[in-house]
């Protein structure tokens, strides 16, 4: 973002549900190829309702993972499809898919502050 590679408002952004048994976070990971295929449990559609406040806060509507099946997941990765950049890694959750939609509840203060 600071290098001008990511436009939070106009780029296509999605969120991946990630199985941490198949992926280990590294700050050096940059693109989707760094997020192993086996770790990708599900992906949302493009984020809707994206907004950047004057104070640098990025927020969006709560995205939905449709009809989720497969492995339990423990993290969410925010990904810029347009620029092939991993944007954020959020862990500390645990969901076991049951074939239903799963809503990712974005924090009331948004995804992050710049």
Domain of 31 in residue numbering reads as 13-113
User: Has residue 95 been placed in a domain?
Assistant: yes
Q: Where are the alpha helices (DSSP H) in the chain?
A: none
pTM of the model: 0.93
- CA geometry: angle 96, 79, 4, nearest 5 deg: 160
Considering the domain boundaries, does residue 99 fall inside one?
yes
Q: What are phi and psi for residue 86, nearest 5 degrees?
A: -75, 130
Task: Name the 3-class secondary structure at 106.
Answer: coil
Question: What is the number of other CB atoms lying within 10 angstroms of the CB of residue 111?
Answer: 20
Closest alpha carbon to 36 in 12, 60, 20, 15: 20
**pLDDT recorded at residue 78:** 97
Residue 44 lies in a domain: yes
* 1 located within any domain: no
- Is the CA virtual torsion 63, 60, 93, 87 positive or negative? positive
Residue 5 located in a structural domain? no
Confidence bin at 5 (pLDDT 50/70/90) = confident
Q: Supply the pLDDT for residue 2.
A: 55
pLDDT tens for residues 50-109?
999 998 899 999 999 999 999 999 999 999 999 999 999 999 889 999 999 999 999 989
* pLDDT at 51 (0 to 100): 95
The total of structural domains in the chain comes to: 1
């Amino acid at each position: 973002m600071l290098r001008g590679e990511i436009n939070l408002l106009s780029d296509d952004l999605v969120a991946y549900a990630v199985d941490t048994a198949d992926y280990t976070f590294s700050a050096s990971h940059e693109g989707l190829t760094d997020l192993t295929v086996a770790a990708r449990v599900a992906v949302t559609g493009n984020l809707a309702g994206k907004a950047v406040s004057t104070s640098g806060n990025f927020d969006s509507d709560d995205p939905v993972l449709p009809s989720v099946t497969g492995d339990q997941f423990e993290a969410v990765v925010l990904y810029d499809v347009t620029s092939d950049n991993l944007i954020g890694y959020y862990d500390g959750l645990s969901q076991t898919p049951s074939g239903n939609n799963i809503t990712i509840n974005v924090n009331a203060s948004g995804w992050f502050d710049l």
